[in-house]
Copies of this chain bind each other. A is one copy, B any other.
Amino acid sequence: MDLAQPATVAQHQRSTMSQPDADTRIRLYKSLLRVRNCEETLAELYREQEMRTPTHFGVGQEAVAVGVSEAMAPDDVAYSHHRCHNHYLAKGGSILGLAAELYGRLDGCSEGRGGSVHLTARDQGFIVSSAILGQTVAVAVGSALAFKMDGESRVAVTFFGEAACEEGVFYESLNYASIHALPVLFVCENNLYSTESPLDVRQPQGTDLCERTKAFKVESERIDGNDVVAVHQAAAQSLALIRDGGGPRFLECMTYRWREHVGPNFDHEVGRTYRDKAELESWMKKCPVLRAGRGLVEDGLATDTELETWDGEIKTVIAKAIADARASDWPDPKTLFDNVE
């Protein structure tokens, strides 16, 4: 795996696939801005310790969530894992629903019952995220089974980290989806770490996750997860092939988590040494948001001023949503037993 040059993978993408049109490129960028600004704002506010819920911020990995979500059809469904804010937001989950959930309020998407790792935005096709590794990989396969049984052309997408590929449930799910040629897209965000553990303690030398899935007869592709255009193209192509009955597909998106595994800090801020600042900086240079913005300007699809305007606009929206979240009511203890059975 050539982490130094993930861009080369993207090159290959571009050459083999048509560029998304201007509107799509702009939509992708605006979604990136929304997700990034939302996460950054929440992360900084998290330091006030008023959000009592262990939180895994997705800053740096937004292009995967955005690229895939924007390629999905309205009635496709998405599932996610513990690092789920990006996917929830990119699929259209409301900022208030997320912020209020972190603040433990009634306006939270799970009304203060789920917390950061248990989000839902069913109306937007974001079914759920869950905190146990690999769980929602199997669940997405089940939704795909339902779609196939009903002859619908819907696809189930499941987002997870590369550590989920260490859990047996991943292979049981892969095997099953492949046997029945189910309409499911497996989206692996390989950010090189599981908590503080690098890949080499979790995978044999020379491992290629795509090779594993191919051995289960599941077509796969490794792409640059920081290039939203490449992700969108790969996802669009994959989803089309799946919808045509081509069976499940797997995308390994190479990306990088900027902040600590759980919580708002940067690892170097708190003296963690499992990865060094230089590595972080090299990946920050590949920032998916900046990169998408530069692309728009270079291709004459937007001006720097427009980028700034959009940035300002979304920040206002976010500020309002967060204010609403903090103003939202606390759940009434009398409702403790609601929704048990």
A75 within 8 Å of B by Cβ?
Answer: no
A: number of interface residues (CB 8 Å): 25
Cα–Cα distance between A203 and B172 once the two chains are bound (Å):
11
Residue pair B179, A172 in contact (C-beta under 8 Å): no
Nearest Cβ on chain B to A122's Cβ, whole angstroms: 28
Give the contacts of A149-191 with B (CB-CB under 8 A).
166-172, 175, 178-179
Residue pair A216, B205 in contact (C-beta under 8 Å): no
Cα–Cα distance between A172 and B163 once the two chains are bound (Å):
11
Stretch binding the partner chain, chosen from A20-28, A206-214, A226-234, A313-321: A206-214
Tell which of A203, A206, A214, A215 has the most Cβ of chain B within 10 Å: A215
Closest to A205 in B: B217
Cα–Cα distance between A201 and B166 once the two chains are bound (Å):
25
Asked if A215 meets B212 with Cβ closer than 8 Å, knowing A166-B175, A203-B175, A204-B178, the reply is yes
A202 within 8 Å of B by Cβ?
Answer: yes
Cα–Cα distance between A2 and B171 once the two chains are bound (Å):
25
Nearest Cβ on chain B to A184's Cβ, whole angstroms: 14
Nearest Cβ on chain B to A222's Cβ, whole angstroms: 14
Cα–Cα distance between A108 and B191 once the two chains are bound (Å):
53
Nearest Cβ on chain B to A194's Cβ, whole angstroms: 13
Residue pair A179, B201 in contact (C-beta under 8 Å): yes
Cα–Cα distance between A178 and B203 once the two chains are bound (Å):
8
Tell which of A172, A175, A204 has the most Cβ of chain B within 10 Å: A204
Residues in chain B near residue A205, CB distance under 8 A: 217
Closest to A212 in B: B215
Tell which of A168, A208, A212, A217 has the most Cβ of chain B within 10 Å: A168
CB-contact partner of A215 in B167, B178, B215, under 8 A: B215
The contact string, 1 if C-beta is below 8 Å from chain B, for chain A 101-130, is 000000000000000000000000000000
A-B contacts besides A207-B216, A212-B212, 9 pairs, CB < 8 Å: A166-B172, A168-B169, A168-B170, A175-B202, A175-B203, A179-B201, A179-B204, A204-B216, A208-B215
Which 3 A-B residue pairings sit nearest by Cβ, starting from the closest?
A: A168-B168, A204-B217, A178-B204
